[in-house]
Amino acid sequence: MLIPKIEAQLINYKIYEEYTPALNKLEFFQGVFLPFNNERQKMLMLCLFNMGIREFISILPQESKEELLCLLQQDLKE
């Protein structure tokens, strides 16, 4: 399992193969991007692992950062 960190982490071809959709094809069905077999979650984890949490947060709009903070605070209370 990939664990995204603050800073970017390198990936290798084995990781790339494991976390990208079959035949490396992106698809959507009924308005949902990568709808099958947890492909969306796997792709997101791969991107976060490779770009790092700091860079991910830096590209979010302020409104999204505020919503993320609220979600994290709720999650930590549970």
Rounded percentage of the chain residues whose pLDDT exceeds 90: 64
Residue 22's pLDDT band (cuts 50, 70, 90): confident
Amino acid at 5: K
Residue 7's pLDDT band (cuts 50, 70, 90): very high
Q: What is the pLDDT of residues 26-37, one digit of tens each?
A: 787 888 887 777
**List of residues 6+ apart from 1 with CB closer than 8 A:** 45
For position 64, what pLDDT does the model report? 97
For 43, the domain range is 13-77
Residue 2's pLDDT band (cuts 50, 70, 90): very high
d(CA 54, CA 17): 25
Asked if the structure places residue 6 within a domain, the reply is no
Mean residue pLDDT of the chain comes to 91
Q: Where does residue 49 rank: exposed (0-12), middle (13-18), buried (19+ CB within 10 A)?
A: buried
Domain count, the chain: 1
Asked if the structure places residue 3 within a domain, the reply is no
